Amino acid sequence: MSGTERTGPEPGSGYPSVSGTFVRMFVKICGITNEEDGLLAVALGADALGFVFAPGSPRQVTPGAVRDILRRLPPGTRTVGVFRDEKPARVVEIVNSLRLGGAQLHGREPESEVGWIRERVPFVIQGFHAGDPAMAAAAAGPADVVLIDAPEPGSGKVFDWALAEGAPPGVRLLLAGGLTADNVGEAIRRVRPWGVDVSSGVETSPGSGQKDARRLQRFLEEARAAGTEVEDDGWEPAEARPYDWQEGEARR
């Protein structure tokens, strides 16, 4: 399939569809560092797992460690490699050699690099800091999903959710930044994103790199409940370009 021929998830797959019909809140659990946490997140119903390759992160993992984790995950598990200002060729090499579902770019990557990467991997999430004026052009950009995070990604700090209103229409908005089971419901009701992304908010302690089973379960429950609530209100996410997780999975 070419970079411009993208199709959505299969009907009934439990994922937000591309037709504008809200299926359920997409939840990505980021900062997976070990097999146990990956299996736990999948068992509890996470939609995708994120593996951080960015140097300096307390959750940084190596390609070799991720390869070992992936061998134990159920077939079809959706996976994302998280990078920050990495060389585009290296991003593509890691994503494709590990057969990850896509890449999350969390630095200051120019649109030309994002597009180059997107032509070579199945799926791209592009991260922006809350209030970043560059986010205004994201609707016309090559990324499949736009992520809004706090100015210090992974810090566990909450930003003013009013800043998420700067996201352009027609994009899938993935909300991150200090989310926990205590505030994710309010965040979803206020921002009404396509999905939410959590890391430190479900850890045993912020930055530990170890997930807490109870916090993880409660976060997923609260996110799903809020997603159902906004769906019942008649809200639907803005229609955006289709995407294809299955392309990456087919190579697994």
CATH number at residue 100: 3.20.20.70
Q: What is the pTM of this model?
A: 0.84
Give the residue carrying structure tokens 């990078």.
83
Q: Which domain covers residue 106, as residue numbers?
A: 26-240
Q: Is 3 inside a domain boundary? A: no
Given the residues 144, 149, 197, 244, select the one marked as catalytic. Answer: 149
Q: Give the whole-angstrom CA distance, residue 107 versus residue 181.
A: 27
User: Which residues are registered as beta bridge partners of 34?
Assistant: none
Q: Is 132 inside a domain boundary? A: yes
pLDDT level of residue 236 (50, 70, 90 thresholds): low
Q: Is 8 inside a domain boundary? A: no
Q: Is 180 inside a domain boundary? A: yes
Q: Is 210 inside a domain boundary? A: yes
Cα dihedral sign, 93-96-100-101: positive
DSSP-based three-state secondary structure for 78:
coil
Q: Is the pLDDT of residue 251 over 50?
A: no
Number of structural domains (the chain) is: 1
State the pLDDT at residue 29. 98
Q: 57-68: buried (b, 16+ CB within 10 Å) or exposed (e) per residue?
A: bebbbebeebee
- 212 in catalytic set: no
Q: Is 100 inside a domain boundary? A: yes
Give the residue carrying structure tokens 């460690």.
65
Q: Which residues contact 200 (CB under 8 A, 6 or more apart)?
A: 31, 154, 155, 156, 178, 206, 207
Q: Is 215 inside a domain boundary? A: yes
State the pLDDT at residue 44. 96
Given the residues 30, 37, 47, 197, select the one marked as catalytic. Answer: 30
- 85 in catalytic set: no
Q: Give the whole-angstrom CA distance, residue 26 versus residue 10.
A: 15
State the pLDDT at residue 151. 62
Give the residue carrying structure tokens 């109870």.
214
Q: Is 245 inside a domain boundary? A: no
